[in-house]
A and B are shown apart, each in its own frame.
Chain A
């Protein structure tokens, strides 16, 4: 049953060194405030999981929180590269980063398998690609294998389930019991929470009653571990109905991330010296 706590307490209790953590959000509702709190609490050796690692994962990787990244597209959308991610892969700075790499379809299905309590999912995918040859990465167990349909004999592709220790998402609202509601582009957040052992949900606001919204995803309180109020906690991404995407921030990030010193200054000024929940 969800406990409503501060962001610092939620991160402190849910996320431990060495955990596999999925902070999901597909452009919309990205849990930046929670990611910054993970940096501030100096978590280490995390396996970070995300379909679209963008700036918040660039920041976590640059801060040295991650040992491994499981992903399908790592870039600054519409702008270019993630330079902290590239520096880690190309030069092992600040620490080496192991990677396990998939396509979006593969990652989405791996979350579906995790949420479904199945060991794998089936799709048409990867045929003829270098990802198939790599078998999803290196230094870890294979995560992509051919499978024969028992009904037609057709060869399809199996991908192993993702079961994170912790899912972290941002939502528009929760009620006082901890039932969570999110709407707009909802990505794989439902699957990520249901696939995970524990979960942290930051919200724009806590309300007395969740009135229905078209197309909303509702996560009942008993599927969530911690709910933490974090208004504006998706910035520079956005929360539909609450805020707009700060495209200028994404553009400005490029110059900060290109330079180790500029990035280190940014970490000191914008994360380490800022109290939780005041980003």
Chain B
């Protein structure tokens, strides 16, 4: 009886979204400054701060620097962010004084569509710009976060629709059309270093900058990941098998989610 219970404790069932959020949280190092997008990135950044990165500095585009929310905010401007921040500043200031000069280590972004060079679309899908099939929310802070943070991490669920050969609209630039484009465009940050999905982790190939599958979650095959990509997804020779969420990680994530309801 006792051994059965302890076995259950080490083999807690988790969802693909929980694995993705935990994986994204692990990508953030303690002490980093992180410009946080809303949704999946915000959940992951808050999880990182609650677990291995207590000194992670969370910066939201609403002008809250060093926010320490005890529950997940629904928006980028919830009261809990302002009440717990080290500083609350105006919106022109957050973009001009803090983001633009390259003071922020990592930009943590979501995407509706992303392509093999890490370019992000959050503007329109299908049709043309004036007559789109789907009108998305638009750019927000993302173009300049993608340009000016020292590095960028993207969190997105992988599907044929979200992983495309070329995005329908370049809202935020990853590596453009390949090597040399960021330099030519004068983008000061290094660009996207990781795409974290509900299947695994992708990193840019050092030579071609094309995103390559380098990590898989337990039980996910490279073939499954290739099936859910809209281009011929490159796979590393031996993709790392990423550890399942630990009980501590799951506890922290679920406690955040309970608090937010």
B239 at the interface (CB under 8 A from A): no
Which one of B88, B95, B139 contacts A215 once the chains associate, using CB atoms below 8 Å?
B88
B173: nearest residue on chain A (CB-CB)?
A: A128
Contact check, B132 vs A89: say whether CB atoms are below 8 A apart.
Answer: yes
Contact check, B75 vs A130: say whether CB atoms are below 8 A apart.
Answer: no
Which residues in B have their C-beta under 8 angstroms from that of A26? 62-63, 77, 91
Interface residues on B, range: 35 or more
Contact check, A72 vs B148: say whether CB atoms are below 8 A apart.
Answer: no
Which residues in A have their C-beta under 8 angstroms from that of B73? 78
A255 at the interface (CB under 8 A from B): no
Assuming the contacts A105-B99, A185-B63, A244-B79, asked whether A129 and B171 have C-beta atoms less than 8 A apart, the reply is yes
Within 8 A of B (CB), among A87-136: 89-90, 101-105, 108-109, 111-112, 123-131, 134
A41 at the interface (CB under 8 A from B): no
Contact check, B185 vs A72: say whether CB atoms are below 8 A apart.
Answer: no
B94: nearest residue on chain A (CB-CB)?
A: A108
User: Please, how many angstroms separate the alpha-carbon atoms of A129 and B186 in the complex?
Assistant: 12
Assuming the contacts A26-B91, A28-B79, A185-B82, asked whether A75 and B137 have C-beta atoms less than 8 A apart, the reply is yes
Which residues in B have their C-beta under 8 angstroms from that of A217? 90
User: Please, how many angstroms separate the alpha-carbon atoms of A222 and B75 in the complex?
Assistant: 34
Contact check, B139 vs A111: say whether CB atoms are below 8 A apart.
Answer: no
A25: nearest residue on chain B (CB-CB)?
A: B77
Q: Mark A229-249, 1 if CB is under 8 A from B, else 0.
A: 000000000101000110100
B81 to nearest A CB, angstroms? 8
Contact check, B169 vs A130: say whether CB atoms are below 8 A apart.
Answer: yes
Contact check, A124 vs B74: say whether CB atoms are below 8 A apart.
Answer: no
Contact check, A89 vs B135: say whether CB atoms are below 8 A apart.
Answer: yes
B261: nearest residue on chain A (CB-CB)?
A: A247
Contact check, A103 vs B142: say whether CB atoms are below 8 A apart.
Answer: yes
A277 at the interface (CB under 8 A from B): no
Contact check, B187 vs A127: say whether CB atoms are below 8 A apart.
Answer: yes
B118 at the interface (CB under 8 A from A): no
Contact check, B78 vs A74: say whether CB atoms are below 8 A apart.
Answer: no
Which residues in A have their C-beta under 8 angstroms from that of B171? 129-131
Within 8 A of B (CB), among A135-181: 138, 154-155
Contact check, A187 vs B63: say whether CB atoms are below 8 A apart.
Answer: yes
User: Please, how many angstroms separate the alpha-carbon atoms of A89 and B132 in the complex?
Assistant: 8
Contact check, B132 vs A90: say whether CB atoms are below 8 A apart.
Answer: yes
Residues in B lying within 8 Å of A, measured CB to CB: 38-39, 61-64, 73-79, 81-83, 88, 90-92, 95-96, 99-100, 123, 129-130, 132-144, 147-148, 169-173, 176, 181, 185-188
Ordered by A's residue number, 11 sampled pairs between the chains whose C-beta atoms are within 8 Å are A78-B74, A81-B135, A101-B139, A104-B95, A104-B141, A108-B91, A108-B96, A124-B186, A128-B181, A131-B139, A185-B62
Given contacts A26-B91, A109-B96, list 8 more A-B pairs with CB under 8 A. Answer: A73-B140, A75-B138, A89-B135, A111-B92, A185-B77, A190-B90, A191-B90, A240-B82
